[in-house]
Structure 1
Amino acid sequence: MIKKIPFAIALIAACALPLCAGAEKPSKRKKPATAVAAAGPLYATRADAMADADDIASRRDLDREWVRQAIGQAHFLPSVARLMTPAPSGTPKNWRVYRSRFVEPIRIAAGVRFWEQNRAALERAEKEYGVPAEIIVGIIGVETIYGQQVGSFKVMDALATLAYDFPASHPRARERSAYFKGELEQFLSHANRTGIDPFALRGSYAGAMGMPQYMPTSWVKYAVDFDGDGRVDLFDSPADVIGSVANYFKSFNWQPGMPTHYPVRFDATAVDMEALLAPDILPSFSVASFTAKGAILEGDALQHKGQLALVELQNGAEPPSYVAGTENFYVVTRYNWSSYYAMAVIELGEAVAAVIRK
């Protein structure tokens, strides 16, 4: 989500904990009304967590006691570990059900309001970064309904839980634990440098923050001060959110003017579905090689200059849906590595744009 950008979340009206090294400008956002997740033991009792604290302090040139205190005051959150537990093997995917959660009247109406209120920023982002307004609007709508659902978990607790107690039942538990240790380190480093109290910040159960749900590393790499007020605020500045999402896509090589996908049919007598699906969502076929394997394209798709992927969207017991995904479809999946997510973003954005452009 590669520039050094201030990690200025600025949620704090006052520093209540000794961990706060300085005061940030207060946020206008109220604290979530959602009940706080039940907390388990402190990580101060864990030798591995304290050893990591010492290592982080040394490598990041941070005060050792500050880092030990920060990690030590974090709580294990059983609910976070449960939420990361993978679904039972064989659980069917259903694109139509998934889509209905995001491309629906309430979210579309909220997207129309967001677009109308932030039209100038969306137009500027599209001009500067080449990313269409509907893609930006689709992302923010799917992630948080335009800031309505930014999460109520303490980011410190969530990151520590996933760093040190990631569910062992997950097939990539070791890899995911290492990832969250890196995010915890990034979060602490920037909180310390900017004087933010790490325990005042709330986000998703995975530690994602703000309207676009950026993880700490993504905030540092891709967030921009698009409203020009001297700080990056992904909670309360729609302009910063819009610019940051656009910058994210540009950083992953979004190609202006290229569609995200095309309709596709199949020649039942010649289709090689195994070969077409083998690369998954990674664009790997030219139009010629794609159609040679039995895929049927029409219209503009036949003139596509880049690579294509056959994207399969399962529909439970019903036949799957298919599209021919372009390089830009793949870019959308870099925000969340799921073709279902990408299609929801695209179709929500299209639904909002249809209302705006009537």
Structure 2
Amino acid sequence: MKSLLRLIGISLVAAALLPACAAPKKTTPAPRPPYSQRADVQAWVAEAAQRRGMSAHWVAHQLAQARFLPQVPRLMTPAPKATSTAPDWAGYRNRFVEPIRIRAGVQFWNRHADTLARAETTYGVPASIIVGIIGVETIYGQHMGNLRVLDTLSTLAFDFPQAHPRAAQRQAYFQGELEQFLATAWREGTDPGQPLGSYAGATGLGQFMPSSQEQWAVDFDGDGHIDLMNSVADAIGSVAHYFQAHGWVSGLPVAYLPVFDAGTLDLPTLLAPDIRPSFTPEAMAALGVTPQDGQQHPGLLALIELKNGSNPPSYIVGTQNFYTITRYNWSSYYALAVYELGQAVAAAREGRTALPVTPRTAPAGPTP
């Protein structure tokens, strides 16, 4: 306090003699009206209720219970470029492929080995991929989120941060997710104020959004009800079904290491399709990259670039299955972390050490 008063030129004695009226008045922000009392929300309620065959009164009642969460828009707002850090694959990997998740993954796999094997047989998705997803998403159910889904989705549906570069598109997306969330609760007769999830409204061991749950979640334990938070079997089966529905090819590798030909390397052409598989092995080789051990690969491939902070980027060759993992989270870093975590857990169960995928840097060549 002394240093502060000295800085503003007021001694402690003088400060004590200041009249009370000189003290700044504390102002409290006006309370936010319940969502159900906002004109924009009322219009949305009428339209959503009509589309889904819900009672408009019931929908309005639910939104009257929803609370604005100020931290949620902040978490959705991209960091300013001046303060954002360059992507770094090694740093990203170390957050997820680490001892705590590997040990928890071994316990999870051992405990649910029969269910994982049944999901692999049913949907063709390896147990290691399912284990990798659930480990990256929630550390096998340890961190599924503690925010009410009704609050997060209402906040994002009606108070999405306008500073976001795709604010209108994202707000429309979350309005759709809120509508689906309420429609599911209406149909099943459940209380939408009960489920907890992430700051984006995802729930359960696999962090499904409401629309994903509606389309791809399955009752894998056969109890007549889908419960992604409390039924591990439902979560495992739903993750596997999601991958099958998004193009997983049973028996296909996830990625290959690239072998570069500096004389013919054409990175701009190879990277133009981004992570979508677009090149046959022969076409990729003609552009200066041969997939190691993948010259006879039966499908299309993509060259995946991974940034390494201030160091040169490195690369792997992704298959259709690598691309399918990115349909769960649209990030090549995420997909490779899921794959590596699953491999590390599988190796730990067998008492061996998994060799990490080591993306390779490109040599200097004629690429402009």
Q: TM-score, normalised by structure 2?
A: 0.85
**What does residue 151 of structure 2 align with?**
157
Q: Paired residue for 1:144, among 138, 155, 174?
A: 138
C-alpha contact 1:40 1:75 (8 A) present in aligned 2: no
AA of the residue aligned to 2:184: H
C-alpha contact 1:107 1:141 (8 A) present in aligned 2: yes
Distance in 1 of aligned mates of 2:262 and 2:158 = 50
| CA 1:41–1:205: 2 relative to 1, 3 Å | farther
Q: CA deviation at 1:176?
A: 0.6
Asked whether 1:265 is paired with 2:232, we answer: no
Q: TM-score, normalised by structure 1?
A: 0.87
Asked whether 1:189 is paired with 2:183, we answer: yes
**What does residue 53 of structure 1 align with?**
45
Q: CA deviation at 1:339?
A: 0.5
AA of the residue aligned to 1:145: I
**What does residue 180 of structure 1 align with?**
174
Distance in 2 of aligned mates of 1:296 and 1:272 = 12
Q: Paired residue for 2:308, among 304, 312, 315?
A: 315
Asked whether 1:253 is paired with 2:247, we answer: yes
Distance in 1 of aligned mates of 2:199 and 2:33 = 17
RMSD: 1.3
Q: CA deviation at 1:252?
A: 0.7
Asked whether 1:352 is paired with 2:331, we answer: no
Distance in 1 of aligned mates of 2:32 and 2:40 = 17
Unaligned 5+ runs, structure 1: 1-38
Asked whether 1:211 is paired with 2:179, we answer: no
**What does residue 305 of structure 1 align with?**
298
Q: CA deviation at 1:42?
A: 2.6
Helix, strand or coil for the counterpart of 2:171?
helix
Distance in 2 of aligned mates of 1:329 and 1:158 = 30
Q: CA deviation at 1:279?
A: 0.4
Q: Paired residue for 1:289, among 283, 300, 306?
A: 283
Q: CA deviation at 1:265?
A: 2.9
Deviations 1:297-344 (A, max 9, x none): 322x11101000111111101122211000010000000011111011
**What does residue 114 of structure 1 align with?**
108
Distance in 2 of aligned mates of 1:238 and 1:296 = 41
AA of the residue aligned to 2:326: T
Distance in 2 of aligned mates of 1:275 and 1:195 = 53
Distance in 1 of aligned mates of 2:320 and 2:148 = 36
Helix, strand or coil for the counterpart of 2:248?
coil
**What does residue 80 of structure 2 align with?**
88
AA of the residue aligned to 1:282: R
Distance in 2 of aligned mates of 1:94 and 1:233 = 36
**What does residue 16 of structure 1 align with?**
none
- Name the structure, 1 or 2, with higher relative contact order (CA <8 Å, separation 6+): 1
Deviations 1:158-191 (A, max 9, x none): 0011111111111111111110000000000010
C-alpha contact 1:260 1:325 (8 A) present in aligned 2: yes
Helix, strand or coil for the counterpart of 1:302?
coil
Distance in 2 of aligned mates of 1:219 and 1:47 = 30
Helix, strand or coil for the counterpart of 2:243?
helix
C-alpha contact 2:281 2:290 (8 A) present in aligned 1: no
Asked whether 1:102 is paired with 2:96, we answer: yes
Helix, strand or coil for the counterpart of 2:204?
coil
Q: CA deviation at 1:41?
A: 5.0
AA of the residue aligned to 1:279: P
**What does residue 336 of structure 1 align with?**
329
Distance in 2 of aligned mates of 1:131 and 1:207 = 26
In our comparison, the structure showing a higher alpha carbon Rg is 2
**What does residue 78 of structure 1 align with?**
70
Distance in 1 of aligned mates of 2:159 and 2:262 = 48
| CA 1:71–1:341: 2 relative to 1, 3 Å | same
Deviations 1:254-284 (A, max 9, x none): 1000011100132222211111111000000
Distance in 2 of aligned mates of 1:247 and 1:87 = 34
Q: Paired residue for 2:58, among 62, 66, 71?
A: 66
Distance in 2 of aligned mates of 1:148 and 1:190 = 25
Identity score, percent: 57
C-alpha contact 1:42 1:74 (8 A) present in aligned 2: yes
Helix, strand or coil for the counterpart of 2:295?
helix
Deviations 1:201-235 (A, max 9, x none): 11000000010000001111111111111111111
| CA 1:298–1:204: 2 relative to 1, 3 Å | same
AA of the residue aligned to 1:332: I
Unaligned 5+ runs, structure 2: 1-30, 352-368
Distance in 1 of aligned mates of 2:51 and 2:125 = 37
Q: CA deviation at 1:40?
A: 5.8
**What does residue 319 of structure 2 align with?**
326
